[in-house]
Amino acid sequence: MGESSPAVANLTKRRLAEGRVVTGMMVRLTRTADIATIAASCGFDALNVDLEHSQLTLGETAQICVNALSAGITPLVRVPSHDPSFMGRVLDGGAQGLIVPHVQSVEEARAIAAATRFPPGGHRSMGGTGPLLRYAAVPTTVAAPAVDAETLVTVMLETSHAVGQAEGIAATPGVDMIMIGTNDLCADLGIHGQLGHQQVLDAYAEVARACKAHGKHLAVGGIKADLTLLGKLVALGARYISANTDMALLIGAARAHAEELRQLRA
């Protein structure tokens, strides 16, 4: 939407449209809203509150998302299932986008797109004003398209079967981005942990072609430290990189600091 839109601008969606590489830190450990400000201060474009692999509550998630909107960082949430009511509650709580795991078919992608868009493009329930509208009283005829325009819907492909459906999934209206869950794909292929395996590269190339053909964005999930491999995937067309978790970053920094202190001798 233009500058007159009542909805908070989705900065990640804009940067992706410009062809920039954007990064999102995953949140699994931190319960307090200041993690959004910290992630923004550290230079991330987005944060991804991971409700698939954490014990974070909807209330905690909403507080993080609302603070992210003020901090100038895009709040995304990975939901644990395809439940439309759950997705709606997360979006009502301030998320500017969803990452939906375990998508296996075009039919599932269509259902997700419909659950995350207001009529006539979908069947998301109108919940009144909220954080994405800055709690302003906005007519539904204006609010619905404004919020839809700032919502980033990402589906995850995590099996070889799902990768084979990439063409149809990428063609689905309302799906903005396709993320490959690299670790789960490796597990499905029987090559646990071999993130740079040729089969993985082939899968990325196949999904990248589908994304390019249908004007969708390609996202990388599960590859954190291998910058050479990430560079290859960016060259293929990947533009969103799911960075490490708050837990892993804390553990890594704490371990390195403890190691430094152990060098001290009396």
Candidates 53, 161, 192, 257; catalytic one: 53
How does DSSP classify residue 94?
T
Length of the chain: 266
Measured distance CA(87)–CA(113) in Å, rounded: 11
User: Which class for 204: exposed (0-12), middle (13-18), buried (19 or more C-beta within 10 A)?
Assistant: buried
Question: Residue 235 corresponds to which tokens in the numbers above?
Answer: 């060259």
Asked if 67 contacts 39 with a C-beta cutoff of 8 angstroms, the reply is no
d(CA 51, CA 60): 11
DSSP symbol at 47:
E
Q: Which of 11, 9, 8 is nearest to 240 (CA)?
A: 11
Give dist(CA 154, CA 101) in Å, integer.
Answer: 9
217 is catalytic: no
Give the bridge partners for 177, in sequence order. Answer: 154, 217
- 198-214 vs 227-236: helix axis angle to the nearest 10? 30
Tell me which residues are annotated as active site. 53
